[in-house]
Structure formats: structure tokens, C-alpha cells
Amino acid sequence: MGERDRPKQPKLDTPGDPHAVLTLLGTGTSAGVPLIGCDCATCTSVDPRDRRLRTSAMLRFTDARGVRRTVLLDVGPDHRQQALAHRIDRADHILLTHSHVDHVWGLDEVRRYNALMGTSIPVIGDARTIDEVCRIYAHIFDHARNTNDSWVADLAAIRIAPGASLDCHGIRATAVPMLHGRLPILAWRFDGQGPLFPLVYATDVNGIPPESWNHLMGTRTLVLDGLRFRSHPTHLTIDQAIDAAARIGAARTVLVHMTHDILHERDARKLPQGVEFGFDGLELR
Ligand SMILES: [Zn+2]
Ligand SMILES: [Zn+2]
Ligand SMILES: [Zn+2]
């Protein structure tokens, strides 16, 4: 059966959803674009693709029982704004790449999903990331010690070993070890049904450890760090990202975490076929 002949409705007796969508909630570097107090060409651009909230993403799909699911990939400081823009009303899993401010400083906001869903939310990351999150959010993870009994998120912290997988309501998520400078972090690979998969989400990387390559094989959709053209000690440059994308061989590679050095319209012309700049709100399916 060709892709064009796929049934319009998801088949609900098989796991996964051929209509799964990955939405880029933010595609900017840690300070966001525009940069505060900057009047460069990008920061004053009227092209909406040059306005970049902090990098994170959302995978939406319908599970085998017909329930709509939402998996969040990092929850950064712009999460409230992203949630309102995309009408996010639940989080079935939160998968973290690492604990830098621009990737986890929105976790307070998910208390609203707890209220809407009436359940705790599993937050999954490597041991270092979860330890950091528990320290930063002591008022959530050790709430018995709060002075007042205030409204805080209900999160279940789960440490995952690099290379291990978990089931997200029928979609398999695998924690893929990556390097962010000297810091070991995670990329996430998703295996499910439909043209989006296998999908790899790899932000804040500049090194791929040898043991991770087998997790990247067969990737169809790749979301990859591509900071800027100038070199950086902890992020892939655009040229390095293009090289990595060529080695991984995904049909579609979308770069994220760009600084204000990148002016979308001007610089997109410099990318080879199959590689593109992401922008806030871009939906991959
Ligand atoms: Zn970052
Ligand atoms: Zn600027
Ligand atoms: Zn980072």
C-alpha cells in the first residue's frame, strides 16, 4: 500500500498512529530570538520564522485505544506561551534531554495538566538530569517541606539508562546518548507507525558517541541541533549539522536551537536538499 493510499482514520487495533505529528514549540537558542536589547537584522526581522522561543517539541498521536496522547520533549521557560499557542491540555510523558535552564525551567507550568488530567505526570531523563531537576524543583519533589501548602506540579521522576527504551502508549521511545560539549545528554528516538517514524530528536549536541550510531540508523525524520555558522564548544555548527545529517541519512532533517546569526530566508538557501531550518510551530508528520 502506497503512502497516498493510507486510510484517513487511524487503525485503532494496532499500536501507534500513522497521523502522529511532531510540533516544534520553540527553535531558538538559550536566550531566545530576538535577543534582549539587540537590533540586528534577525532580531528586527518581520519574518515570523525569525522569532524563536526556547527549543522544545511536542509529539501528538492517538493510541491503540483511541485516546489522544501528548509527549513533551523538554519544558523550557517559554512553555506557558507555547501551551497557549498550541492549545496543549495534557502531557502523558515528559522526556528530558538535559537540565539546562532553557530546557527545564518551565516544569512548574505543567501543574495545570495535572489539574486537567487528574493524574501525576512521568518525567523521564538520565540520572544526572533527574537529580538536577529534583534539586531545582525541591518545592515539587519534596513538597511536604513547603512552608505553605501551595499548588505545585505532581511529577513522577524516572531515571532511564542511556540506550534503554520505554513505551509511550504504543510508541517506543529510546534514550540515545549524545555529547553536549563534555556533558553527556540524551537524544530521543521514537519508533511508531506512519511516515514520521523512526524519528530522532537531538538538540544541544555536538558529538555522537560510537555506541549511539546504531540508534540513528534508519532515521526518517531528524530534528538536529544547528546553532550558527561560527564554531561553538557545545553545539553543532550548521556545517557540522549538515555533515551529521548526511551520515545519518534521514529523508528530512530539520535544524533547531538557532541563534540570531541565522536569518531564515537568507540562510535557508545555503542548506543542501533534505536539510531545512525549523521554525516555531512547524509540524512534522
Ligand atoms: Zn539549549
Ligand atoms: Zn540580534
Ligand atoms: Zn544545553
In a domain, 1, yes or no: no
Query: What amino acid is encoded at 135 in this protein?
Result: R
- Look at the chain and report how many structural domains it folds into: 1
What pLDDT band is residue 6 in, cutting at 50, 70 and 90? very low
What is the band of 149 on the pLDDT scale with cuts at 50, 70, 90? confident
Q: Greatest CA separation found in the chain?
A: 61
Q: pTM of the prediction?
A: 0.94
Distance from the alpha carbon of residue 1 to the mean position of ligand 3, in angstroms: 42
Q: For residue 2, is it within any domain?
A: no
Residue 100 Cα to ligand 1 middle (Å): 6
Task: Tell me how far the alpha carbon of residue 1 lies from the centroid of ligand 1, in angstroms.
Answer: 40
Cβ pair 72, 107 in contact under 8 A:
no
Whether residue 5 lies inside any domain: the answer is no
Distance from Cα 34 to the centre of ligand 2, integer Å: 6
pLDDT tens per residue across span 155-214: 999 999 999 999 999 999 999 999 999 999 999 999 999 999 999 999 999 999 999 999
Residue 82 in any domain: the answer is: yes
CATH of the domain at 198: 3.60.15.10
Residue 7 placed within a domain: no
Calculate the average pLDDT of the chain: 94
Residue ranges making up the domain that contains 182: 12-284
